[in-house]
Amino acid sequence: MNNHMQPAEISGFLERTLLRVQKPARYTGGEWNAVSKDWDATPHRVALAFPDIYDLGMSNLGLAILYDLLNKRPDMLAERVYAPWTDFEAELRSAKVPLYSLESRHALADFDVIGFSLPYEQLYTNVLNMLDLAGLPLRAANRTAEHPLVLAGGSGCYNPEPMSAFFDAMVIGEGEEVVFEVVEAYAEWRRENEGNEGNQGNGRSRFTSHVSRFTLWQRLAQIRGVYVPHLYAVSYHADGTVAQVEPIDEAAPPSVVKRILPTMPEPTTNFIVPFVDTVHNRAAIEIQRGCTRGCRFCQAGMIFRPVRERPVQEVLDAVDKIIASTGFEEIGLLSLSSSDYSGVAELVEAIMTKHGDKKLSVGLPSLRIESFSVDLMEQLARGRRRSGFTFAPEAATDRLRDVINKPISTEDLLKTADEVYSRGWTTIKVYFMIGHPTQTMEDVDAIADLAQQVLAIGRRHIGGKAKVRVGVSTLVPKPHTPFQWVPVEDEATLNAQIRHLQARLRGRGLEFSWNDPQDTLIEAFLSRGDRRLSDVVERAWQLGAKFDGWQDIRSYDAWMQAFAEQGLDPEWYARRERKIDEVLPWEHINAGVSKEFLTLDYMNSLKGAVVDDCREHCFSCGILGLFKHDRRNVPDGAWGCPALGRGKQRQPVDITPVPLYVNPDMAPELAPQYGPRVPQRAGLHEPARS
Amino acid sequence: MSVNNMPEAAVQAQRLRVTYSHQGPLRYVGHLDVVRTWERALRRAEVPLAYSEGFNPQAKLQFASGLPLGTTGRAEIMDVLLTEVTDPAEFAAQVTPHLPAGLAIVAVAEAPIKTKALQGLLRSSDWQADVQTDLSADALEAKVRTFMDSASIEATRRRKSRSNTYDLRILVLNMRCAGQAEPGWQRLLMTLRSEPSATGRVDAVLEKLDLGEVVSRIERQRLIFAD
């Protein structure tokens, strides 16, 4: 393969090939709002890569934000690249054409920087496949100074170890500022090391021959939030657990602290408008970052702290700009918990008053299960068809919801279901997880009971039209959450639970979907693994693993063979209960939430002790201590965390997570000290029940 | 309008007949996606689009004929229904800056608000097909002559699991060679029937011309309607 093939040659290949593949517009570029800059006149060139197909990658907000920011800089350009679907991959390989960017059709190897988004584990093998399609060495250690800098960002980087061999550097946390620091550091390193030894093939001078990538790594490691795995050594105990992760170079900090922005960045508004249908064919505005609810299974709720709200007016201005610049019919207002956005009612009313007649539909995901949410959805739906309403109680009994710190009551859930069906919706989707710690078959059975109860309510209002869709996924305890020590439920138990639910969730009006326990295992070892998994990932890819999130393509056998060949055990990574004092493979990554806090909150979970939303009561998770400087520089109301300084009005602060109440079935001896079961933020929308 | 009302019924005040070219990346976009691409461009341009009523309001755009994937069009036609009367030239000026690469307005004219659907009025269309081939002009000419001299040519149309045979010859009203388009490329011009129940496809014709696996550039040049 000529990995520096010229754009004109690539275009010729496309003309010969595209009509043979599915959805060829995935591979052409040229969409509205795509930015095509002058390649030769722009010194710093970044490829933004999403390791899944166009249809999914185009919906990734993180990359859309970086694309916009980078292209606004006159000296930089950013272009997109996605994983080709298998048919187009075969065409690329047989014609020996390298993977190329959609905008200018330059081969990936001709970029300065390739930044991969790593939002979830099932995409890891696709990263290797894309590097291979670009004709680049997979491992950072095998790349020379002439190769592009290969980066990763996104929540997958919070346990960087399984993919650590393949990236030069991995960005921990929010990328909007650090991306420039990395591109500039690379450029500076290049400038200092470039010689005059002729042309590299992409219009660049060759490096003087002795330059090694090591000096680039040293430079990158000094940027806050940038983890350079190759500057750390990992040692192991005889039992296979990690003994120590230690920097081997002065440039590398012992612990890499995530990056955050003190306030929400300006919203992106000039979204690329795809020609073909995509998964979320719409624009999106983050209305809030972070979440204060403290659900113990939720990695996003831990790693995206602190909560920062975007002012209502800023959201409204962004909606106007998006409509004008894209023509999209749909805008998603994104957050981890929309109901907790303090201006949510005002925002919805203002948008519908202004744009209600413009055939705009507005998505507001992650609403709480309460009647207020039904009001909001009703406003948003207006005259449009009301299809599905989504609840995510995640567990079906009050007890288990206390364990996971999502203390909705069954009673409230049913009351809300009644409101939903009575106001004309026909379908309620209910999401649960199985495999929570302390879960029994009774809790699993309760999923079916609850679904039946919801359906009965629907039948009462609308008869046979009522539908309940039950989605059940399996808990994969994620790094940096209070459940990070918990094992994944064993496969036989999961299969028995799924079979039980299958048997009980049959019949008119019920739909049941679940995750294959084999998929869960792949997700689990990739999210909880250590550095040795890089060898497994590479071997699995060689054996054909790719698109691990796609049921028809992913290859479980390839993974099992790769583990066997490396002498490692996937079950050991996924299903071993970890000791509290064990050094976790991701412990040198600091997400801002301290191990002490996570430990105490894990202990609370085993007592069924619920802690309040931390906007009501700060429990010193660690984020504020780490970012107090940033906190001081923003207005008091800008964060969910307490304002700092004397005499500020703020919520109570405790140095440990103190329970709001304790579940009497879990800890009968403790429960009386704490009082009755109450919702979180009891004072907010409704009076506390007795 | 109160928040909980159904959208008001759109009043159609005007029908504009838009002739446009369809090139570039649009070549790889299927017809339904082309419709959405137009709708979004018209929304960006803030023209007073009329929408259908009901739960899922659709912009009232009526296309004469969707282009098959892989082909371009020089003078495609669609009707746009508006809720306010707009000067055709102004409409073109307003919309043009909002069109993606590959779409361009050629002409806009007012049409009677009540009219038969364009689709039903379409009779035939002119096509140009450039094929990359080693065949000499004479050899190609001979193949075209053989095709046109045949009384009937059986072709097969596959749709999902079903396939049915039809006579392709009667769908080809006219076909001739037009010489070399560029070195290595020969040009064919043809007029195909394009009625709802009888639509000829260029790729089917090329297949029956027996040119082997060829790369082609197919463009629809003109849509011809009943008077």
- pLDDT grade for B30, boundaries at 50, 70 and 90: very high
Stated pTM of the model: 0.95
Q: Are A178 and A256 in contact (CB under 8 A)?
A: no
The domain boundary, picked from A329, A358, A384, lies at A384
* Cα–Cα distance for residue pair A572/A585, rounded to 1 Å: 13
Of A324, A378, A383, the CB nearest to B7: A383
* Cα–Cα distance for residue pair A687/B140, rounded to 1 Å: 85
* Cα–Cα distance for residue pair A545/A679, rounded to 1 Å: 45
**With contacts defined as CB-CB under 8 Å, which chain A residues touch B215?**
15-16
* Cα–Cα distance for residue pair A196/A43, rounded to 1 Å: 17
Rounded mean pLDDT, B54-66: 89
Report pLDDT for B5.
42
Residues A200 and A347 in one domain: no
Report pLDDT for B7.
46
* Cα–Cα distance for residue pair A456/A466, rounded to 1 Å: 9
Report pLDDT for A269.
97
The alpha-carbon gap from A358 to the nearest alpha carbon of chain B, in Å, equals: 9
Rounded mean pLDDT, B141-152: 96
The domain boundary, picked from A363, A384, A405, lies at A384
Of A276, A326, A356, the CB nearest to B1: A356
Of A25, A325, A326, the CB nearest to B29: A25
Residues A227 and A290 in one domain: no
Residue among A346, A344, A394 at smallest CA distance from A364: A344
ipTM of this model? 0.92
By C-alpha distance, the chain A residue nearest B57 is A359
* Cα–Cα distance for residue pair A61/A283, rounded to 1 Å: 9
Task: Give residue ranges of B with CB < 8 Å to any A CB.
Answer: 1, 3-8, 24-26, 28-30, 33-34, 36-37, 39-44, 46, 51, 55-57, 59, 69-70, 98, 100-102, 215
Mutation target among B1, B2, B3, B22 for the A interface, most CBs of A within 10 A: B3
Q: Is residue A38 part of a domain?
A: yes
Cβ–Cβ below 8 Å for B3 and A349 = yes
**With contacts defined as CB-CB under 8 Å, which chain B residues touch A25?**
25, 28-29, 33
Q: Is residue A87 part of a domain?
A: yes
**With contacts defined as CB-CB under 8 Å, which chain A residues touch B26?**
275
Cβ–Cβ below 8 Å for A384 and B55 = yes
* Residue that the structure tokens 């301290």 belong to: A594
**With contacts defined as CB-CB under 8 Å, which chain B residues touch A324?**
44, 46
The alpha-carbon gap from B37 to the nearest alpha carbon of chain A, in Å, equals: 6
Q: Is residue A380 part of a domain?
A: yes
The alpha-carbon gap from A328 to the nearest alpha carbon of chain B, in Å, equals: 6
**With contacts defined as CB-CB under 8 Å, which chain A residues touch B7?**
357, 359, 382-383
The domain boundary, picked from A364, A384, A404, lies at A384
Cα angle: A370, vertex A374, A378; to 5 degrees: 170
Residues A71 and A125 in one domain: yes
Report pLDDT for A10.
98
Residues A247 and A299 in one domain: no
Q: At residue A18, what are phi and psi to the nearest 5 degrees?
A: -55, -35
Rounded mean pLDDT, B97-102: 97
Supply A279's token pair.
Answer: 């998964």
Of B7, B42, B101, the CB nearest to A30: B101
Of A548-562, B124-138, B156-170, the one with minimum mean pLDDT is B156-170
Residues A18 and A145 in one domain: yes
Cβ–Cβ below 8 Å for A275 and B100 = yes
Domains and CATH numbers, chain B: 14-115 (3.30.70.580), 120-225 (3.30.70)
* CATH number of the domain where residue A123 is located: 3.40.50.280
The alpha-carbon gap from B214 to the nearest alpha carbon of chain A, in Å, equals: 9
Torsional class of B160: left (φ above 0), alpha (ψ -120 to 50), beta (otherwise)? left
Ranges of chain A whose pLDDT falls below 50:
198, 201, 685-690
Q: Are A511 and A469 in contact (CB under 8 A)?
A: yes
Concatenated DSSP letters of A284-332: EEESEE---S--TT-HHHHHTPSPEEPPHHHHHHHHHHHHHHH--SEEE
CB atoms within 10 A of CB A646: 4
**With contacts defined as CB-CB under 8 Å, which chain A residues touch B98?**
327
CA B46 to chain centre: 25
Of A30, A327, A329, the CB nearest to B41: A327
Residues A133 and A199 in one domain: yes
Q: Is residue A503 part of a domain?
A: no
Residues A299 and A229 in one domain: no
The sheet with strand A76-82 has its strands ordered as A76-82, A44-50, A113-117, A149-153, A169-171, A226-227
Q: Is residue A476 part of a domain?
A: no
Residues A157 and A219 in one domain: yes
Task: Give residue ranges of A with CB < 8 Å to any B CB.
Answer: 15-16, 18-19, 24-25, 27-32, 273, 275-277, 323-329, 349, 352-353, 356-359, 378-379, 382-385
Cβ–Cβ below 8 Å for B57 and A359 = yes
Domain count, chain A: 2
Q: Is residue A239 part of a domain?
A: yes
Residue B147 has pLDDT above 90, yes or no: yes
Q: Is residue A277 part of a domain?
A: no
- pLDDT grade for B3, boundaries at 50, 70 and 90: very low
Report pLDDT for A215.
94
CA B106 to chain centre: 14
Residues A221 and A353 in one domain: no
Q: H or E stretch including A226?
A: strand A226-227
By C-alpha distance, the chain A residue nearest B132 is A16
Of A192-196, A254-258, B33-37, B111-115, the one with minimum mean pLDDT is A192-196
* Cα–Cα distance for residue pair A648/B208, rounded to 1 Å: 83
* Residue that the structure tokens 């107090």 belong to: A628
| Beta-ladder partners of B188 | B129, B177
Mutation target among B44, B49, B103 for the A interface, most CBs of A within 10 A: B44
Report pLDDT for B2.
39
Residues A28 and A101 in one domain: yes
Residue B81 has pLDDT above 70, yes or no: yes
Q: Are A521 and A570 in contact (CB under 8 A)?
A: yes
Report pLDDT for B162.
85
What is the identity of the amino acid at A102? Answer: L
Of A29, A324, A382, the CB nearest to B4: A382
Say what the alpha-carbon torsion angle A161, A167, A172, A175 is, to the nearest 10 degrees. Answer: -160
**With contacts defined as CB-CB under 8 Å, which chain A residues touch B37?**
32, 273, 275
Q: How many CB pairs under 8 A join A and B?
A: 90
Residues A329 and A189 in one domain: no
* CATH number of the domain where residue A321 is located: 3.30.750.210
| Beta-ladder partners of A659 | A611
Report pLDDT for A204.
61
Q: Are A302 and A213 in contact (CB under 8 A)?
A: no
* Cα–Cα distance for residue pair A269/A315, rounded to 1 Å: 10
Cβ–Cβ below 8 Å for B43 and A382 = no
Cβ–Cβ below 8 Å for B215 and A325 = no
The three-state secondary structure class of A446 is helix
Q: Is residue A684 part of a domain?
A: no
Q: Containing domain of residue A366, as a range?
A: 282-384
By C-alpha distance, the chain B residue nearest A274 is B37
Supply A405's token pair.
Answer: 């710190």
Residues A305 and A223 in one domain: no
Report pLDDT for A552.
86
Report pLDDT for B191.
98
Q: At residue A60, what are phi and psi to the nearest 5 degrees?
A: -80, 115
